[in-house]
Structure 1
């Protein structure tokens, strides 16, 4: 963030023929419309010189110099501003000389000539009097800030603010308060920074200074982001964006700030799009002074995404841009970005000495967190190269930041401390450091109200957990392997999403989204153009998403963490067996818990899993396709399924047979196995098998009390599926007294009202899984989609849910081992058991399975047992029904 300076608030052209008025207009436009200011100034300069109006010449040259600064033409800016000083002297105007010198000082800062900038500023101040002198001191403080002399800037602002208020200089007082808030923020004096910005915003609103109010709002967002309060930060950025838009402006610095926050919670796709938009906006506005900052941010986002080519190219462009501007501190940061891109491309090519040199450069110019990251990188590279003494030196330096500062910095410092202790052979101390880092991340995660933000921010949590997991595997300690595996899994689901105190706006947006999507379907069916409707859908989805992201976690709502005693978590197993899979360094391992014994098993390479699973969805779909010849289905698809199922079974379950026997299974899969139809595996055929995102989530589900009597059953049939109504009617008959919602009665408001707190919900509808945003995955009802966002708004999620809708059991895996989607939303919201398919299924083919499943429930069988029996009871010759049944899994409490 850079101090807010002389940005104009009036964009109305002034077209008086008077040269002085035209000079004033050029100066006013110089910061926001530099190209137009240049054209006007050049048209005035000649006549002013010929008429000997040297005071006007000075003002015009000053306008041309400021415009050139905003066009990144620093040499031209210096030429014009020196000419402005000379013209002011010819006019005999100390005021003109002083103001030109203040602008010249700002240009010299950008040129990297800090000493000369200070001399010009000191020379300028005695030439100014009254209000002009007070304003100049605000600008002097901003220059001091740019030069890193925050103490001097703070003293200047403390002296000048009372004078500004006394003189009634409201606009300049607001600027001074905004600038001072940035100093407070840099010193982590957040309360003082917010007080200044709130005061500045109040002054702006009281005096209709709309542009400065937008800047104050934006800076409030930045302060909240520095405090780690992502929801509040996003609220302020939204408010600032609305103010800019009312003024007809696109402010690239706001895009940069928003992209940084999105990156901090690892919403990478949006962060990259926003960073790219900032780069484009700076280029379009020819504000090359700030373009390298956006290029550097784009490099960082691309690096985290794994796009090392874009990361390297953007970082190199940033280095060139900062060098042109002679911004030494920023050059150091961009060089670090280049180093990171090289590390991601080939770690063996990086010299730890070079990484340490970059860390020293960053620390010297005040970049504390990047310096910390570079120091950790130097230590890790040295460790990989066997240079233990060098590694110890760098990791020790990095670990000093673990006790104070931002959550992400402290967590990284704890990781450095853990690596240092591990290298020294202090394994217990290393594990303690990893646990301390996890607590830092968990405490930060608990402040986020949206499931999406909590899931994405857990990437650093996963990095810490993986090191603990790696050490537990080295020690061959199965209980610790289970403990560390759980620390990196499904943490976003352990706290319910925050509910807004007033739901009217969110409910209205969701209703508008449903009607818009219904219109899209009608328009497409009629062969019309849906372009405008799709644009409205995108807008509404953004509004819904942003409203949910800006929610803070409810007061006192802390995440449930895995208990220190693994025995307490696995106590409800009874005669079942738990199998939790982990993947470390490309190898798959399993922890089994059965009969009170906890065992660790090495299973082999993870490469075999995606190879075996690639063709499973296609083969199931082919078997379920009634148009395909039966013999062809059996010969082709059946053979593919048998080979894939046998390969996966040989890797995952057969080696565990001695431990798990024929017990009911509770399976915690790794990300690649989240969408596996487990009933296809020979070892799972006919066996009660429950799947869970984590053992902690499973424990939560099995210990969740059922709804109090009388228990309600709700059965829903969505539109557009010929078999849905028949299936719903069949299920409703099996549950006397149940509520059946079908046809036009199956609307989102009616369904959500009925299912809130229900004992059992059966929903037969068309499902739509969204990979771009899993929380907009939906099932289609009579009035439009029922999205995951609306499920999260339920006060009490239904206890047991059956979703006979395509793909609705398949989660989206993000940030390593976090899951989002229908199953995640229901489990996180309080549902104990979910039965749903993980691949597309034909709706009519599910009726036999659903009838058998609900008959099993009525007979008193647990859900997983009822599902396994229903799947085995189908005639294998009816490949359509068999394939549809195989797609279903039981998630949660089986």
Structure 2
């Protein structure tokens, strides 16, 4: 028969692993087998914790205070109970009292390192809520050390995870990810509850990184775990955090979830939690356009209550939202008051600083001061760019652009209202730079990432995937992606090119057209060497539905259906392309005599809403060499780099052919014949390793294979080779980049659009990694057409002409209009 002490120890183990029902039984058994006042008090303290987890705060407080009043307690037992009472006060929202009790507990537990470590963890969480992340980091570090010295690596990992959360509060996203990734497997291994705790904190990191959809899913899973185990306060916390996350993309859902969290908190006497949830309810109303007097009063009152409860950061953020409502309600006077009142500390979280700039910009717009609108938007985006510059991951830089969406739109709209071409060009470039402002270094060699990519390829090769395979694939994708996030960036921010810089670089046969989308206006900025103008375009025909229908027609067109169905598809596609041509190209040609001249090179810089448009198939561009860079700044930089390293006609050339593509071997053999010498890798030799080795050795690299664009994360777009997909993540790992890349694979010129302005896809992955020009298609291409056109492209490249000219001449010589585009510098 187990002793009371042994049963108590078992109860602690069960409690810490989230097995609360079994823990309660062990405590009851221990209580029956002892009359020791100290052990009985500790049993009561652990029972309080279990009651607290279920939301029985009042009963837990009564039991804990009663135990503390017991006579004959040792200092150690008093410390255990003080720690539990501190946790109760924390759940009640009494943070200062909780902090005092935790301090007393730590002093009393000097002979119990593990007990002291647990109290240090709770004190660290309290310090975080009080806005002291430095103090919290110190407590978490102490806890991790004590747990490690006690031989408790899993619990030490939880402390390391908490260090990551504290780093997040300071704005150090990369360190937060490093801590959490290092601790993730151990910290979440003990139980589903531990895994849910980790997911809740990691969701905060995902939101900061600009990935609210992933964060909301993680929080929904965590809330379900807590609900199943009747951990009501933890459930309320997960629901509240999910509501905050949904604010970014679904305010009505955010409001509904926040009300649910508010009710959960109120039912368990947690007034501060209910206030936080109430604040999200109000913010959701503002996000939905609310501006009533009742809403203004509720915001002001809730902000005051948050301050009284010590939730000063929440209060400061809500007061910024209050100023936004006053701008909407008060006209000029409300706007002037907002500009006068808004003050934000320089070390405030980036999201609060961005929000302050948003509200000031909205106030300036209400005063018809577009200069101030642009200034506020510019300042906010510059702060965001400095923050992004520490990220070594292009994926992370792009996602974090979410935080600048509203400021970018405000800046574009103000510039368009001004009609000033220098301002319009600046905001055209800022809209692109928001996702690629910083110089992203080459990711470091990582054997674990290489192994994960290899395993993922193996899973993709399997003709039938089991549920276990699918779960493992998700785990691998998450592991690969998050490992990239923890690399540090260069800290260097690209200087944007000026309008004069770009115009000076244009010759008499080149025109640059930058399209801007403000949310309700589509405008083309046309730049020539000695001329600049804007062209107002209609907004109809460029929405998500229209583009999806276009892509569907293009995919069917590539299948060469024939018969009545084929005729219907061809007719539909022709009409769609004509409408796009009339909307996007014909007005530009009418406004620019130089652009309308046959043979003029045209540089097109599209916004995210035009991602995937097959520009080469628009009638107005026939006879024009067209290149599509990510921005004018990048185009100019790549052009200057190309001028200093021009090896046309003397390049080394390599070809790789994946399996299962009709005429692929013919395409490659015909293309290779255009060059004096060329390396061809095909058949069983065409592995991802062979492709990587060849790509790093040649100047012109051509790969043919089945391709698929991964919309959720374009770095997992891939070209099928014999051992599986060659991913975008593989491209980033190449030791050297070819200058020109030709991708004969469906969809791999396509981009995923994030937050309205930036786009990320396989073609851009090559360009970000260092290639100067990429020829690829954003949609499916007929295999026969690809063979004919791309083999002709190499005839031009071998003769020393530019990639953009080679593609234009190949199209003209074959008479085949394909969706292949040149991305990047083009020449």
1:108 match: none
| In the alignment, structure 1 residue 820 sits paired with structure 2 residue 760 | yes
Alignment of 1:75-224 (within 5 A): 75-77=58-60, 85=66, 97-98=67-68, 128-136=73-81, 138-139=83-84, 164-165=109-110, 167=111, 169-182=112-125, 185=128, 190-224=133-167
Q: Deviations over 1:495-515 (max 9, x none)?
A: 454445442221121122222
Counterpart-to-counterpart distance in 1, 2:59 and 2:98: 28
In structure 2, which of residues 404, 412, 422 is the aligned counterpart of residue 469 of structure 1?
412
Q: Which runs of 5+ in 2 are unaligned?
A: none
Determine whether 1:733 maps to 2:673: yes
The residue that corresponds to 2:580 in the other structure is 648
Question: Closer, same or farther in 2 for the Cα pair 1:187/1:367, shift >3 Å?
Answer: closer
Q: Does 1:677 align with 2:621?
A: no
1:394-413 superposed Cα distances (whole Å, 9 cap, x missing partner): 4543x311523122222222
Aligned to 1:661: 596
1:149-174 per-position Cα deviation (integer Å, ceiling 9, x unaligned): 76776677667756644x3x211332
- Does residue 298 of structure 1 match 2:242? yes
Q: 1:859 aligns with which of 768, 793, 799?
A: 799
Residues 12-57 of structure 1: CA distance to partner in whole angstroms, max 9, x if unpaired?
Answer: xxx62x6676567557756643322444555677x68xx9998887
2:736 is the alignment partner of 1:773: no
**Aligned residue pairs: how many?**
814
Residue 641 of structure 2 aligns to a residue in which SS? Answer: coil
Distance 2:62 2:230 in 1: 19
Cα distance 1:360–1:568, how it changes in 2: closer, same or farther (>3 A)?
Answer: farther
- Structure 1 pair 249–209 and aligned structure 2 pair: CA distance change class (3 A): farther
Distance 1:136 1:22 in 2: 19
- Mark the structure with the bigger radius of gyration: 1
Task: Note the alpha carbon deviations across 1:179-210, whole angstroms, 9 max, x for none.
Answer: 44446555766555434433321221121133
Q: Give the 5 Å matches for 1:526-675.
A: 530-553=466-489, 556-563=490-497, 565-575=498-508, 576-607=510-541, 613-629=547-563, 633=566, 635-656=567-588, 657-659=590-592, 660-662=595-597, 663-675=600-612
What TM-score results when the alignment is normalised by the length of structure 2? Answer: 0.90
Aligned to 1:113: none
**Unaligned regions of 5+ residues in structure 1, if any?**
1-14, 86-96, 102-123, 876-881
| Residue 309 of structure 1, CA deviation | 4.4
Q: Note closer, same or farther for the CA distance 1:479–1:278 as it changes in structure 2 (3 Å cut).
A: same
Secondary structure of the 1:820 match is: strand
Mean Cα displacement is larger for which, 597-606 or 313-322?
Answer: 597-606
What secondary structure does 1:341 align onto? helix
Helix, strand or coil for the counterpart of 1:676? Answer: coil
1:782-815 CA distances to partner (integer Å, 9 max, x unpaired)?
Answer: 2111100011112332211111100010111112
Alignment of 1:300-339 (within 5 A): 300-306=244-250, 308-339=251-282
The TM-score, its normalising length taken from structure 1, stands at 0.84
Shift of residue 320 of structure 1? 0.3
Greater shift after overlay, 469-478 or 371-380? 371-380
Q: 1:559 to 1:20 in 2, by over 3 A?
A: closer
Counterparts of 2:123 and 2:49 in 1: how far apart (Å)?
23
CA distance in 1, matches of 2:788, 2:565: 24
Deviation at 1:469, TM superposition (A): 1.5
Contact residue 54 and residue 233 of structure 2 kept, 8 A: yes
Does the C-alpha gap of structure 1 residues 271 and 839 become closer, same or farther in structure 2, counting only changes over 3 Å? Answer: same
Q: Tell whether the 8 Å contact from 2:781 to 2:818 is kept in structure 1 after alignment.
A: no
Displacement of 1:836: 0.6
Cα distance change, pair 249–419 in 1 and its aligned pair in 2 (3 A) = closer
1:134 positional shift? 4.2
Displacement of 1:675 after TM fit? 0.7
Listed as ranges, the matches of 1:827-846 within 5 Å are 827-846=767-786
Secondary structure of the corresponding residue to residue 178 of structure 1: helix
**C-alpha separation in 1, matches of 2:363 and 2:656:** 57
Q: Is the 8 A contact 2:657 2:704 kept in 1?
A: yes
Select 2:654's aligned residue among 714, 720, 730. Answer: 714
Q: Secondary structure at the match of 2:532?
A: strand
Change beyond 3 A, Cα 1:584–1:369: farther
- For 1:248 and 1:845, how far apart are their aligned partners in 2? 56
- Look up the match of 2:173: 230
Distance 1:756-1:81 versus aligned 2 partners, 3 A rule: same
Structure 1 CA distance for aligned equivalents of residues 141 and 88 of structure 2: 23
Q: Deviations over 1:598-639 (max 9, x none)?
A: 21222122455556544433333444334523x764x42333
Q: Deviations over 1:674-699 (max 9, x none)?
A: 11111222210111111122222222
